[in-house]
Amino acid sequence: MKNKLKNKKNKLPKGANILEGSRAVALTIANIGPDVISAYPITPQTHIVEDLAKFKADGIANYEYVRAESEFAAASILVGASATGVRTYSATSSQGVLLMTEVIYNIAGLRLPVVLTIANRGISSPITIWNDHQDAMAIRDAGWIMFFAENHQEAVAQHILAYKIAEKLKIPAVVNIDGFILTHSYEPVIIPNKTQIKKYLPSYKPEKGTYLNPKEPMTMGSFARPAYYQEIRESLQNDLNNSTTLIEKEFKNLQKILGKDIASKDKSALMEYYGKSNAKTLIIAMGSMVGTIKDVVDENRNEVAVLKLKVYRPFPAKELIKVLKKAKKIIVLEKAISLGSMGPLANEIKSILQNKSNAKVYSVISGLGGRDITKDKINMIININSQETNKAIFIK
């Protein structure tokens, strides 16, 4: 992670405190003010939900905290709560994501604005408790908006933005934060208070007829015959694809209301380009490893740049093409593998660049199961010059 302390005396930014990533997320969620939280503990997500439970037990939060017997149950509890028109939240990791998957698909299909945090962790088997992005990739087709955070401050801003977008579009959203690397590390971070957040994100008041109410009966998740099912899925697809415009608009509003120290100084909510525009090699990556890549960019300014993808779903194809079509060598560095193919992000980058670029696009896999992605490893990756661009290259 790239150090965000900016002044020469190494003082904290105004209003910042040194916080564990999980604590920063928990404080942000508490200040956002969900009505119902339900979760089941799993490493490395546990500190988030422990903190939220303690806030409730100590009487400093007034949400309903429902202890579930599994991740499947936790997600199901949120379906019932969200369907009645209240704000909800949960967090999970790894096998917990997989156990939730059936309900995760239902949440999107029901158009419920649930917000979820995934403290990203590798998938079994073999068992690992350390970070990679295979859990997030397992639900990439479920119909959720998907954010990836580089650091604590970005995670804070993305959770606030996630609620705004989810509640406006009736599409659920997930914020991915790297397990242990972010959840258990300490960084300077500014947590906006309840009053600040409410200026941007008022209390949730869904429109009549969009939630269950005994006085105004309605049907949600009804049986769909072949004559209707495809159109319903197409509607979700179209709304997801069109959400990039709202995400960008609301990101600007977030910066304006909460300030760029909280909401980030980036020009876009979708991605960040770091380095010279004419760099020989462009690395595309997501999550905390971008901070290390930025350090390498600082040491090799004319050789390499990095494009950080902050929103993976909806996949911002048009915006990416504008940036990538001039690149000559593209390395897609991922902490995930689509087994039997290559990196899932690399597959999509290759797809959108067909007939639009002559760049060599390499699918590079590293960091699975928590293996460190160091500066030396990134420098080695920069020098890849293989003719094999149709398969994944594993870097140990």
CB 290 within 8 A of CB 306: yes
pTM, entire model: 0.96
Angle of the 226-258 helix axis to the 94-109 helix axis, nearest 10:
110
- CATH for the stretch 17-258: 3.40.50.970
DSSP string, 258-311: H-HHHH-S-S-SSEEEES-TT-SEEEEE-STHHHHHHHHHHHSTTTEEEEEESE
**Per-residue tokens: 189:** 């971070």
What is the C-alpha separation between 321 and 309, in angstroms, rounded?
A: 13
Q: Which CATH number fits domain 271-394: 3.40.50.920, 3.40.50.300, 3.20.20.80, 3.40.50.970?
A: 3.40.50.920
Write down the pLDDT at residue 6.
43
Report the alpha-carbon distance of residue 111 to residue 337 in Å, rounded. Answer: 29
Per-residue pLDDT of the chain (396 residues; tens, 9 = 90+): 554 444 445 678 889 999 999 999 999 999 999 999 999 999 999 999 999 999 999 999 999 999 999 999 999 999 999 999 999 999 999 999 999 999 999 999 999 999 999 999 999 999 999 999 999 999 999 999 999 999 999 999 999 999 999 999 999 999 999 999 999 999 999 999 999 999 999 999 999 989 999 999 999 989 999 999 999 999 999 999 999 999 999 999 999 999 999 999 999 999 999 999 889 899 999 999 999 999 999 998 778 999 999 999 999 999 999 999 889 999 999 999 999 999 999 999 999 999 888 899 999 999 999 999 999 999 999 999 888 889 999 999
Domain ranges for the chain: 17-258, 271-394
Q: What is the pLDDT of residue 292?
A: 97
What's the pLDDT at 113?
98
**Residue 326: what pLDDT?**
86
pLDDT at 9: 53
**Per-residue model confidence (pLDDT) at position 2:** 53
Distance of CA 352 to the CA centre of its chain: 21
Give the tokens for residue 249: 């608009």
Is there a shared CATH topology between the 17-258 domain and the 271-394 domain? yes
